[in-house]
Amino acid sequence: MFDSWFRMKERCPNCGYRFAREEGHFTGTYLLNFAVTESLMFVVLLGYALWRGMSHSHAPLWPFVLGCGFFAVVAPIVFYPIATSTWAAVDLLMRPLDEEEELDARIHER
């Protein structure tokens, strides 16, 4: 499905399905990447709150903030191909191909 880590092919190599079916199709990819990144950061900060509350220590916050910064930079890069392919599948489930798109896909299939 991909030419490189950040570049998705225009069409499925097998069935000819066009991945970018409309303008702004990557909004869902950005949403998935944002949700995963925010979830990872939330888990790190929740871990800090739980650890500090259960151990009654005065542990510094900066290691956890660095962990959140790490996830904020690395998670979107690592998760990008997964988010892109997942969003293409979700888009296809939410909006099945109409007759024109099916014909176009058949023309471009192997």
* Structural tokens at position 109: 């299939």
C-beta separation of 76 from 33 below 8 A: yes
What ranges do the domains of the chain cover?
24-104
Q: Encode burial over 17-56: b for 16+ CB neighbours within 10 A, e otherwise.
A: bbbeeeeeeeebbeebbeebbeebbeebeeebeeeeeeee
The full DSSP string for 42-107 is HHHHHHHHHHHHHH-----SHHHHHHHHHHHHHHHHHHHHHHHHHHHHHHHHHS---HHHHHHHHH
Would you write out the chain's pLDDT as a tens digit for each of its 110 residues?
Answer: 899 998 989 888 888 888 888 888 889 999 999 999 999 999 999 988 888 888 888 878 888 889 899 999 999 999 999 999 999 999 999 989 989 988 888 888 87
User: What pLDDT does 37 receive?
Assistant: 95
Identify the three-state secondary structure at position 11. Answer: strand
User: What pLDDT does 69 receive?
Assistant: 93
User: What pLDDT does 57 receive?
Assistant: 81
pLDDT tens-digit series, residues 58-85? 878 888 889 899 999 999 999 999 999 9
Location of structure tokens 């000819």: 16
User: What pLDDT does 35 receive?
Assistant: 95
pTM exceeding the 0.85 threshold for the entire prediction = no
Q: Which residues contact 48 (CB under 8 A, 6 or more apart)?
A: 59, 61, 64
* Closest among 21, 37, 25 to 74, alpha carbons compared: 37
